[in-house]
């Protein structure tokens, strides 16, 4: 995957959703 900031953004979203 291209490191365009989106990878990190999806990781943050997933973290936030898994640990609300």
Partner 1 sequence: GGVGMATGAYVPSKAVWLPAMKAKGLEISGTFARRGGAIHMDVSLTNKAMSVMTDFAIQFNKNSFGLAPAAPLQVLTPLSPNQTVEVSLPLSTNGPVMKMEPLNNLQVAVKNNIDVFYFSCQYPISMLFVEDGRMDRQLFLGTWKDIPSDSETQFQIKDCHLSADAVCNKLQGSNVFTVARRTADAQELLYLSLKLTNSIWVLAELRVQSANPNHTLSVRCRAPEVSQYVCQSFELILRN
Query: Taking a C-beta distance cutoff of 8 angstroms, is the pair 1, 7 a contact?
Result: yes
How many residues line the site for partner 1 (CB under 8 A)? 10
CB burial string 1-20: b at 16+ within 10 A, e below: eeeeeeeeeeeeeeeeeeee
**Binding track over 1-20 against partner 1, x by CB under 8 A:** -----x--xxx-xxx-xxx-
Min dist CB 6 to partner 1, Å, is: 5
Considering the complex, what minimum distance in angstroms separates the CB of residue 16 from partner 1?
9
Tokens 């997933």 -> residue: 14
- Residue ranges in contact with partner 1 by CB under 8 A: 6, 9-11, 13-15, 17-19
């Amino acid at each position: 995957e291209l490191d365009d900031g989106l990878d990190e953004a999806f990781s943050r979203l997933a973290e936030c959703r898994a640990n609300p």
